[in-house]
Structures are given as structure tokens and as C-alpha cells.
Amino acid sequence: MTQIDIVGLTKRYGTTLALDGVTLQAREGELVSLLGPSGCGKTTTLRCVAGFMQPDGGDILVDGGSVTGLPPQKRDFGVVFQNYALFPHLTVFENVAYGLGVRRVPKAEQRARVADALAMVRLQGLEERLPRALSGGQQQRVALARALVIRPRLLLLDEPLANLDARLREEVRWLIRDVQQRARITAFYVTHDQAEAMALSDRIAVMKAGRVAQFATPREIYQRPAEAYVARFTGEANLIPARPRDRTAEGWFHLPFGGVVLPVPGAEGIRPGDPAMLMLRPEALSLMDPGAPGAIPALVLGAAFLGAALACEVSLADGTRLRMQASPHATVQPGMTIGLAVDTAHAWLMPDIPQ
Ligand SMILES: Nc1ncnc2c1ncn2[C@@H]1O[C@H](COP(=O)(O)OP(=O)(O)O)[C@@H](O)[C@H]1O
Ligand SMILES: [Mg+2]
């Protein structure tokens, strides 16, 4: 069990600034995801941590000691990368045992540890197979066993599910979380898939152009995003320019919206009168009687039956468009005027940061 600190990491490729001061941490036994769109620097961060690449600046600390100068094999990190392929001419057993051979672990102990690792990823009985005789999901489980067998201080996973189909992705995702928790291994997990990051992580670092935009628990990231970029990347969100009027007694904000004034919670640093950005997740909105007090009148632009919900797009009097999920039993049709209720506990006011 290990604590990892990544401190102010910078990295350039020629004129591209790939990492612009990345700081984050994984505590003992924690799984931390790096989440962000393609090109934001996730893989570069992980490669620097693994030691496959030297950063231009910053430091990587393991339990407080720098490993930045150490070659990969001296770091004792287990690595599972999307394209970090198995040796095609070696059997499953030989692939998993490889790192133990390099470390001169005695043969008998190698056999026991490979058996343990294969049991952990539920691949017993396939020891003599060659990689090409395995499915994609089985191959990634071998890669996971190969990383685990060395009893790494840290597990590094870069989009390990990217080449799997949707159903297998979910299965291997749960397996990874289960193995990581049972072995209590500290882990960094790279993904561009917000659902994957939410389901797996203790904390998520949302990355934006070589920096960490927000580093927090999945719940905080989803409910209390630091900026619109984070809100947009972590699920469906209505984002509406807004200007809070003043503070409520509880420290929320009075916000004129759709002809009413809503009390909404907001981020630190927001000042009444300044431009801000209101986030309404679709679940913050519901239908109410258009004649009832407090109802916000809205015009239905479109409705799609999704089975568990009726997805609607509506427009307010000032033209603001919102997406919401109504009850599948609601009888809502385009052209209808409806009443909108806002559950302000699911609303969130953020600073208006340029994207
Ligand atoms: N070997 C390389 N040479 C030049 N530029 C690179 C190289 N690898 C990555 N980059 C650039 O660095 C930035 C970050 O890339 P990367 O870390 O791979 O992002 P991610 O994994 O989030 O998709 C991108 O702009 C990418 O184009
Ligand atoms: Mg990548």
C-alpha cells in the first residue's frame, strides 16, 4: 500500500505543451481516475508516472520519496495499457510469469504466484493457451494478472477497456474494481468515459488541456462541478448563463430564472451581480401543474420515449432551451405548454470560466 503524489508535472513535445502543471494524488488503496477528452494529457501523465517518459518539470513521489529519476523496472509499478500487448508467442502462464522471471523469483514461488494472480482475474485453466486463442476480455485479464503478479506498489491502467465491446467492458470494469479493492492496491486509471470513471473511482481528476480542472469524489464532480467544462464532461447538464441577485440567509443565491426567483447553492467565489453559469442536471427538472404557484411556464419542443423516462426538450419564455427527463407516464407532446419545477438542491451555480 502506497501513497503517490504527482506534483506540478510539465511536459512538452516540441512546441506542444502536453502537461501544464499536473498536481494530483492517490492515497493508500485509492483508485484515482484521470478523466478527460482525447489529447488532454492523460496518457502523458501516466507514462511519466510509469517512468516510460521523463517529465520536463515537477516530481513524482512514492510515500514522500521521489522516483522521477528511477527507470520503470525500479519503480515496482504494474502497468496495463490499451496497447501494451501480451507476448504473442508465450502462453498465458509464461506471459504472467514473465515479470517474476526478470526479478529472479524461484520457479516454485513463480507457479504459486501466477496461480494466485490468474485466480484473482478468474482465468484458471487457461494457463497453456496462447494469447491469440483468447477473447479480447480474456487478454485484458491476462494483462491485469501480469501487472498484479509482481505485487506492484501502484497499478497504472490506461484505457484498459477501450478495445472491448460494451458488455465485456462492464464485466472487466467490475473485475478491475474488485481486484483493486481486495488487493488494496493504489491505482491510477485513465479513461475518457465518464460513466466508467464514476463507477470505478474513489476520486476523479478531470483534465483540461494539460491541467487538472477539478480533483474530487465522483459525487462532488457530478453535483458540484467547478466549472461548465467539468459539468459537461461528467454527464448531461443544462448550462445557462445567469446572474445571482443576492445571497439567501443560508448562503445560497437568489437567482432570477424563467420569471421566478430560485434559491440555488453555488461555488465559493461567486459574487452577487456578477455573471455566472447555472447548471441544471436533467433530474433537477420535473413537470408540475402550469397553474400552480411557482410553476415556470415552458413550451415543449420535443419528447422521446426512452422506456424508463420521457426525455423532453422545452423552451422558456426568453428562449432558453432545457433538456429534462419526465415520468414515462407523462402525456407530453410538442407544442404543449407545461409547468416546470426546479429541484434547487440539484441546481448549482458556477463561476463563468471561459472554455
Ligand atoms: N509522441 C508525441 N509527440 C508529439 N505530441 C504528442 C505525443 N504524444 C502526445 N502528444 C500530444 O500531447 C497532448 C497530450 O496527449 P496524450 O497525453 O496522449 O492525451 P490523452 O491520453 O489525454 O489523449 C496531445 O496534444 C497530443 O497530440
Ligand atoms: Mg491516451
Output the 3-class SS for 37-100: CCCCCHHHHHHHHHCCCCCCEEEEEECCEECCCCCHHHCCEEEEECCCCCCCCCCHHHHHHHHH
With beta carbons less than 8 A apart as the criterion, state whether 62 and 153 touch.
yes
Backbone angles phi, psi at 33, to 5 degrees: -95, 145
CA-nearest residue for atom 6, ligand 1, is 13
- pLDDT digit string (tens) for 224-256? 999 999 999 999 999 999 999 999 999 999 999
- Confidence (pLDDT) at 318: 93
- CA 258, 260, 262, 267 torsion-angle sign: positive
**How far apart, in whole angstroms, are the C-alpha atoms of residue 347 and residue 355?**
20
Q: How far apart are CA 354 and CA 130, in angstroms?
A: 51
Domain extents in the chain: 4-232, 236-351
Which ligand is closest to the CA of 81, given by its number?
2
Task: For residue 72, give the C-alpha cell.
Answer: 520503470
DSSP 36: -
Q: Ligand 1: list residues with CB < 6 Å.
A: 13, 16, 18, 36, 38-44
Angle between helices 136-148 and 166-182 (to 10 degrees): 20
* Residue of the CA atom closest to atom 3 of ligand 1: 13
| Residue 216 confidence (pLDDT) | 98
Grid cell 407516464 is found at: 329
Distance 10 CA to ligand 2 centre (A): 16
**DSSP H or E run through 108:** helix 107-120
Distance CA 264, CA 224 (A): 12
Using alpha carbons, list the distances in angstroms from residue 60 to 95, 154, 343.
29, 12, 43
Dist. CA 309 → ligand 1 center (Å)? 39
Cell triple for 102: 526478470
The Cα-based distances of 156 to 79, 82, 214, 285 in angstroms read 5, 11, 20, 39
The pTM assigned to this predicted structure is 0.92
Confirm if 142 and 149 have CB atoms less than 8 A apart.
Answer: no
Residues pairing with 7 in the sheet: 59
Same fold, 4-232 and 236-351: no
Q: Superfamily assignment of 236-351 in CATH?
A: Nucleic acid-binding proteins (2.40.50.140)
Mark the ranges of the chain whose per-residue pLDDT is less than 50.
none
How do residues 293-348 score in pLDDT, each as one tens digit?
A: 889 999 999 999 999 999 999 999 999 999 999 999 998 999 999 999 999 988 99
The secondary structure element, H or E, covering residue 273 is none
CA distances from 100 to 24, 82, 130, 212, 345 (A): 30, 22, 19, 36, 53
Compute the CA torsion angle 98, 103, 108, 114 (nearest 10 deg).
-40
Q: Residue 84: what pLDDT?
A: 61
Distance, CA of 241 to CA of 243 (rounded, Å): 7
44 CA distance to ligand 1 middle (Å): 6
What's the CATH code, domain 4-232?
3.40.50.300
C-alpha cell, 282 = 436533467
Kindly tell me the burial class for residue 320, based on how many C-beta atoms sit within 10 Å of its own C-beta (0-12, 13-18, 19 or more): middle
